[in-house]
Amino acid sequence: MAKQIWEDIFSSREWGKYPPENLIRFIARNFYKVKDRNKVKILELGLGTGANLWFCAREGFRVSGIEWSKSGIERFQKRMQEEHLIGQIDTLLQGDYAQKLDELEDESFDAIIDVASLTCNDFDKTRLIFSKLIKKLKTKGKFYSSTLAKGLLGYDKTKPAFQEPKEGIYTHVGSLRFEDKNSLKRLYKDKNFKIENILTSILEQDKTIIDKLYIVEGVKC
């Protein structure tokens, strides 16, 4: 079960202490010029051990998150306490964000971020989650999502797009959803949402694509 896989990872490994550069650029571009950063509220789906929210809190933003793993949340809280950032946390919920999103107020977040967490859900469930998270964004609120791309090492094109990689860097974390740009446009389609950018990040070694991510940036209309 995916929940137990990530609980084992976050309770036994040193994992994810710093955010990816693409997320840093997204936050900086959209929110660094805001006069009062403490009024900017950011929600993360699948916060893990909290590296991304830690960064956002250090930059002065209010943070909330949803995470399956109890150990992940506890490690995040411990780090925030040790670094005197605990006061920047608004809400932390443990469980499946397909359900936990219902506990959050509509139109209450300036940004919702997903750093390769939604990719742990199949297409239909991700569509359901997306329809809920759009309601939680304020008008003109921003959305960031990184997701695995078809073609990287471990993806098997003979199988459905939601599959468990047998080789490469994404083994031993359960089934993952792989996309192309066309399927991403269907996945993140909503009458109240506009995709602004689809970026591609590729790590290649000796003509083998070790990692490939699509980064979707959009806005609630």
Residue range 91-131, pLDDT digits in tens: 999 999 999 999 999 999 999 999 999 999 999 999 999 99
pLDDT band at 17 (very low <50, low <70, confident <90, very high): confident
Q: Is 48 exposed, middle or buried (0-12, 13-18, 19+ CB in 10 A)?
A: buried
Whole-angstrom distance, CA of residue 66 vs CA of residue 92: 6
Where exactly are the structural domains of the chain?
2-220
Beta strand 89-94 pairing with 109-115: unpaired
Residue range 178-193, pLDDT digits in tens: 999 999 999 999 999 9
| DSSP string covering 189-205 | --TTEEEEEEEEEEEEE
- Quote the pLDDT of residue 1: 52
2-220 homologous superfamily: Vaccinia Virus protein VP39 (3.40.50.150)
| DSSP string covering 61-109 | -EEEEEES-HHHHHHHHHHHHHTT-GGGEEEEEES-HHHHGGGSPTT-E
- Quote the pLDDT of residue 10: 45
The one-letter code for the residue type at 141 is G
- Quote the pLDDT of residue 196: 98
pTM, entire model: 0.93
Beta strand 89-94 pairing with 62-67: parallel
- Quote the pLDDT of residue 14: 56
Residue range 122-164, pLDDT digits in tens: 999 999 999 999 999 999 999 999 999 999 999 999 999 999 9
